[in-house]
Amino acid sequence: SHLFIFKEQWLNKKNCFDFLKKYYLPAAYTIEFVIGLIGNCIALFGYFFCLKNWSSGSVYLFNLCISDFAFLCTLPMLVFSYIHEEWTFGDFLCKCNRYLLHENLYTGILFLAFISIDRYMLIKYPFREHILQRKSTAMMISLGIWILVSLEISPILIFLKQDIINNVTICPDFASSADATGNLVYSLCLTFTGFIIPLCVIWIFYLKMMCFLKNRNQQLPNRASFKKPVIIVVLAATMFSIFFTPFHVMRNVRLASRIESWTLSGCSSIIISSAYIISKPILFLNSMINPVFYFLMGDHFREMLLAKIQRIYKSLKCIFNSRWA
């Protein structure tokens, strides 16, 4: 009877895992792709056609927007493969998809960190006289981020390749690919350099901002002008912690659970795999919500974008009325 109960529990957990992979991931990814694509396309339109005077913060946000857009564009292939339970796009696109996903994940993380630094600098140097507040400096830092992360992520091209399991071709993610031990070492290094360090940077500059404002509390005639930078850093720190932490924890746990020297039961392995799957769409929520930053950052981005949309609407309305008059 105990064996029967154990087998039934194992089957229930296996069914839950299969359900998450076939239905939860495609549904969550589709919603995130549609909403995130709309938000980031509107933001890109604003940066290309509306914003005239770019600041250092605008440069970081534009690069974050590009990163999020590319990150979201990896989702349609994944949705298709999860629904059909097979990867049909070949080994080259498997590598490209996973590489682009991780490349834009970690560039986005670093841009969020530099946005927090930039907001702190804005409070400390409101007239933008510091070298870090120059647009040219922000452009050089952004270029450096893209190059650095490209090099940091390049081992994924070696680790990842499509696989065949039970005569079905799959494109395994990083935590499910071969050589769990080697991948775990790389994953821990990537977690430290690409996640923990930027997370510490964001929270450190939030605390520095709070200390600076506290020390100048008596001297500031109008603290409302500092409200927006504080909100942005708090939002960045909170989003960063909530959205990125579960994925990085579960990716390393998932890799560790696959090491042969670990003696995990089938049930434990399925629970870990299921928790890892649940954490993946949480990660993508960040790219869906990031457009909020573009409307909070200042630089009159929101006003210029809305004015541009109103002009386009009026032009289309005039064209439509003249045709049907």
* pLDDT one-digit tens code per residue, 41-60: 988 888 887 777 888 888 99
Which secondary-structure segment (H or E) carries 246? helix 227-257
210-256 pLDDT, tens digit each? 888 777 765 655 555 566 667 777 877 888 889 999 999 999 999 99
Task: Quote the Cα angle for 120-125-126, to 5°.
Answer: 95
Confidence (pLDDT) at 9? 47
pLDDT score of 2 more than 70: no
The pLDDT score that the predictor gives to residue 1 is: 44
Q: 179 or 72: whose pLDDT is higher?
A: 72
Tell me what pLDDT residue 299 has.
57
Alpha helix segments (H runs only) across 73-196: 75-84, 90-124, 135-153, 156-159, 180-191
Question: In the prediction, which pLDDT does 198 show?
Answer: 94
Assign 69 a pLDDT band (cuts: 50, 70, 90).
Answer: very high
Q: What is the pLDDT of residue 79?
A: 95
Among 25-39, 218-232, 311-325, whose mean pLDDT is lowest? Answer: 218-232
Write down the pLDDT at residue 263: 66
Q: Class assignment of domain 2-324? A: mainly alpha
Q: What is the mean pLDDT of residues 178-204?
A: 91
Share above pLDDT 90 across residues of the chain, in percent, rounded to a whole number: 40
The encoded tokens of residue 311 equal 């002009």
Proportion of the chain in helix, strand, coil states, percent, rounded to 5: 80, 0, 15
What is the pLDDT, as a whole number, of residue 3? 43
Determine the Cα–Cα distance for residues 321 and 325; give it in Å rounded to an integer. 6
Are 64 and 44 within 8 A, CB to CB? no
pLDDT above 60 for 192: yes
pLDDT at residue 324 in the model: 67
Residue 62 pLDDT exceeds 60: yes
Q: How far, in Å, are 54, 124, 272 from residue 61 at the CA level?
A: 10, 20, 35
Task: Compare 205 and 292 and report the one with higher pLDDT.
Answer: 205
Q: What is the mean pLDDT of residues 151-172?
A: 88
Q: What is the mean pLDDT of the chain?
A: 83
Q: What is the mean pLDDT of residues 111-123?
A: 89
Give residue-wise pLDDT tens across range 287-313.
888 887 766 665 566 667 677 777 776
Whether the Cβ atoms of residue 88 and residue 169 lie closer than 8 Å to each other: yes
20 phi, psi to nearest 5 deg: -60, -40
pLDDT at residue 107 greater than cutoff 90: yes
What's the mean pLDDT in 10-33? 80
Mean pLDDT of 125-134: 83
> What residue spans define the domains of the chain?
2-324
Helix, strand, or coil here: 297?
coil
| pTM, entire model | 0.85
**For a pLDDT cut of 70, what percent of the chain falls above it?**
85
Q: What is the pLDDT of residue 217?
A: 63
